[in-house]
Each structure stands twice: as structure tokens, then as C-alpha cells.
Structure 1
Amino acid sequence: MVSEQFDRCHGILLQYAEFLSSAVTPSTYVQLVPPLEDLVYKYHIEPDVAFLIYRPVMRLFKSASSGEACWPLDGNEEGEPVSCDDMILHGDSSQKLIMWSDLLNTIRTILPTKAWNGLSPELYATFWGLTLYDLHFPKDRYDAETKKLHDNLKQLEDNSDNSSIAISRRKKDKERIQDLVDKLNNESDKHQQHVASVLQRLAREKDKWLSSGPDALKINMEFLQRCIYPRCVFSMQDAVYCATFVKTMHSLGTPFFNTVNHIDVFICKTLQPMICCCTEYEAGRLGRFLHETLKMAYYWKSDEAIYERECGNKPGFALYFRFPNSQRVPYAQFVKD
């Protein structure tokens, strides 16, 4: 009964947050939402919910020098990389000026001090600030929708009714569909460029996300506990996002992030306790995250050539966690385990 009520309230929260972010302009939204520090400490909101509310505000951080590139994009109009250290929040002129470093300082106070032994505030801010739109370009979906529209155009052209009314109607329908095709192509190009720019920034920043410590195994556990677990059960889209973010960290070759250990700890050590702590809807989202994680692992397992291309030279498959450039896990051992 309690879990059902929690799921119902959580669903309303997601709907309200989505409505608020889409119903008002970004400049208005930043005036309505309190600073992250107030959300966490004044209103005592959990970090995962606080970032759900504050995430649209993070996209208003722009370069202080040029004022062009918005986080998390990388580069200004001249294509020059823009450092986060140079970013300020562009909101209402009457509000206090907030630097990106101020946001990181607030984030440092959210977690216990020991959590930062391996994690960095930069990784925490990046993980909680990004969305699936930033990391994944669904090319197949765009192509399928474009093909569907072209098929509709072809059907109109094949129509043999040559009456004046039919011709007039076909002309209007063609113009409407062609307009949709143009909009879809523009959206596709914009999305593809957006993802490429975000990945460019992540590739530039990945080296300072994690740091080696006396117990390198705790790095993955901290990342799971502070980032993956709270967000993968937050919504179905967040579940897919978490798996995509892990895959991105692996593909970028993030130092000290061990992909093999991440999968092992999640499935073999923490999955069962998590299921016992989930509500009905949270269990479904956790299942989606598990599905996406296993799909990634089975893809690597399906062929040795794929494994060597995508895993053989990545730090995520290093045998020794503290040494990202050490010997890699052989394909035979990965398949066996």
C-alpha cells in the first residue's frame, strides 16, 4: 500500500517537473527554481529529486567570455573548446551571479567527504546534469519516421483521382508532409550535432572524473551507489540513460573506471538487495537498466572481433583496476566468466 502510494506520488512529480520545464521559458524557469543549495538544505530534497528540478537550470550556464556555448555543449561558434571553469549562470539580471565553480562547491557538500576519494564533483555534476538526449542519437528511429513520411508522399503521387477537389487536397497534403520531412531532417541534424558536441566535451573532461585510491574497487561502488542506483529507478528514460552513460564512460576510455567490475558488482553483488528495496514501478525500471546492461555485455560477447575492437584497448577491461594501462582481460576469460 505504501509502495503504491509512493509510485503514484513519484509519477505526479515527474509529470509536474516535465510540465514546468516545457510550459515556461528557460529564463522564467530559472527565476522560479531555487538554487541547488536551497533545494538540498533549505527544502531538504534528496539529491536525485533536486537535480530533476535543477537540471534545466544547468543548461543556462554559458561561457563568461563569449556567452555562446551553453553547457553541456563544447565549443563556441569558432569551434574553440569552452572550459566549465569559465561558465556562469545566465539568468535574470537581478539574481546573484553563479559560477560553475560555485555549483561544484555546493555539490561537494551533498555527499560525505569519503565519497570524493574516488569520485569527482565534475563527474557527479555531469552525470546528474545530462539526459538521454545528450548521449544518444536514435538514427534508426529518425530514418524509420522519414521513410514513413516518404511512403505517404508516394501514396499521394500514386493516387489516380484527378478531380479538382482531389488534386487540391493532394497538394495540401504533400506540402504538409514535405514540411514535416524538412522539420524532421533539421531536427535529426541538430540532434546529431548536439550529441557530437557533448561527447567532445566529455572526452576532454574524462581524465579528471575518477582518481585512483588505496582500494580501487570502491571507486565503482561509489559510482554505483551515488549515481547509478538512485537514477536508474527514477524513470524508464533514466534507466536507459544510466546504461548509456556507463557505455559512454567505457567507450571514452575513462581512467580508473573498470567496466568488467561494474557489471560484476551490479549483477552478482547488489542486484538482489536492490530488487528487495524497490517498489513495483522501480523494479520495472531496474529491470530495464539490467536489460540494457546485459545487451551491451552480450554484444561484446557475441564475437571476438567486436570484443577486440570495443574492449580490447579500453581501460575498462584492465586486469588491474589501479593501472588502466595494464594487461586487458582476454576474450576467452570474459566469455567464460
Structure 2
Amino acid sequence: MSDLQVPEITYKRRIEELELEITQIAERKELTAAKKQKEKEKIHIIIDKFKEELFKQKEHVERVRARLDIEREHWFKNRNKIKAETITELLQLCIFPRSLLSEINALYCAHFIRVIHDLVTPNFSTIICYDRLFPDISYSLTSCSENEAICYERFLESLLETVMI
């Protein structure tokens, strides 16, 4: 997931928690001034590391997006097939198997479909993709274990979140 999206909200929430901790240290009476200062410095170091890591992750995602933007031209080049066939193969051979492995893989697959859409990938139709996924859910689920069904549900839920936005 870290190749496609930066969890900025999580980073910001954690940084806010640490900043709150700094203000709480100032109010602690059992600590000496030197200990308070030392604790604050430790937390500031952690905050700086989080900010640096967030910056690096943003840069990484930008590099991945730039690479995907270049490569997208070559993903669905086969002109002998119609879009629907190409998308069906993508779903059958790539998306469906991976989306069943774990919930994080399911989220990755859903996000990857969003990325393909956002990049305006040639010969990819999001509507055809959704049309292939949603009408035949019962057929897909009957071949799944309980855990795979949960993962697949998470995949579909994540896809529907983009439609609802």
C-alpha cells in the first residue's frame, strides 16, 4: 500500500498525540526541570523522525506515480481484444486472486483499480471493470473460504467507497 498511498492522517494524528504529550510533561510536578527538558527533547526527536519519514514516503509515492504514469501506456496494448476481455483477464488473473489473500491485499487491489482509473489508463474502463465485479458476486463467493470471503468483501467495500465519494 505504501507504494500507492501515504497514510498522512495517521502520521498527523500521532504527531498531535506527541505534541500533547509535550504539554502534559510541562504540567508534571514530580519531574525536575532537567528531566522535563530531556523528555521534551526525546519527543521532539521522535516528531522530527515522523515528519522526515512522512516526507520520504510522499516522495516515494510521487516517484511511483510518475513511473506508473509512464508505464500505463503499455498495460493494455493488445488491440486484438476488446476492453471487456482485457478487463476480465485482469480481474481473473491479477485482482481476484490477490484480493483473497488478506485484507491489506484486498485494499491494495481496490486502490490499484482507483489508480488505474485516476491515471486515465488507455483501454481501461472503470465502468466495465465494476460491471464485471458486482453482478456476479455470488459466483465468486461460493468458491471462497470464510476468510477469503471476508477479504473479498473488504475489496468490494473499498471499491464502493470511491463510488460514494
Show the counterpart of 1:171: 37
Show the counterpart of 2:115: 248
Show the counterpart of 2:140: 274
Show the counterpart of 1:285: 151
TM-score, normalising length: structure 2: 0.94
Show the counterpart of 2:127: 260
Partner-residue secondary structure (3-state), 1:133: coil
Q: 1:175 Cα shift?
A: 1.8
- 2:54 corresponds, among 188, 204, 210, to 188
AA at the equivalent of 1:227? C
Contact 2:25–2:40 at 8 Å: present in 1 too? Answer: yes
Show the counterpart of 2:102: 235
| Structure 2 unmatched ranges of 5 or more | none
AA at the equivalent of 1:174? K
Q: 1:172 Cα shift?
A: 2.5
Show the counterpart of 2:5: 136
Q: 1:214 Cα shift?
A: 4.2
Q: 1:281 Cα shift?
A: 1.1
Partner-residue secondary structure (3-state), 2:80: coil
| Structure 1 unmatched ranges of 5 or more | 1-131, 300-337
For 1:195 and 1:232, the matched residues in 2 are separated by 21
Partner-residue secondary structure (3-state), 1:278: coil
- 2:18 corresponds, among 141, 149, 152, to 149
In the TM superposition, 1:65-104 aligns within 5 A as none
Show the counterpart of 1:200: 66
For 2:118 and 2:18, the matched residues in 1 are separated by 34
Partner-residue secondary structure (3-state), 1:268: coil
Say yes or no: does 1:297 pair with 2:163: yes
For 2:140 and 2:65, the matched residues in 1 are separated by 31
Give the helix-richer structure, 1 or 2: 2
Q: 1:277 Cα shift?
A: 1.1
Deviation per residue, 1:107-130 (Å, 9 max, x gap): xxxxxxxxxxxxxxxxxxxxxxxx
More RCO (CA 8 Å, sep 6+): 2
Deviation per residue, 1:46-91 (Å, 9 max, x gap): xxxxxxxxxxxxxxxxxxxxxxxxxxxxxxxxxxxxxxxxxxxxxx
Contact 2:83–2:124 at 8 Å: present in 1 too? Answer: no
In 2 relative to 1, CA 180–240 (structure 1 residues): closer, same or farther, beyond 3 Å? same
Partner-residue secondary structure (3-state), 1:137: coil
Q: 1:160 Cα shift?
A: 5.7
Moved over 4 A (4+): none
For 2:28 and 2:81, the matched residues in 1 are separated by 76
What is the count of residue pairs matched by the alignment? 164
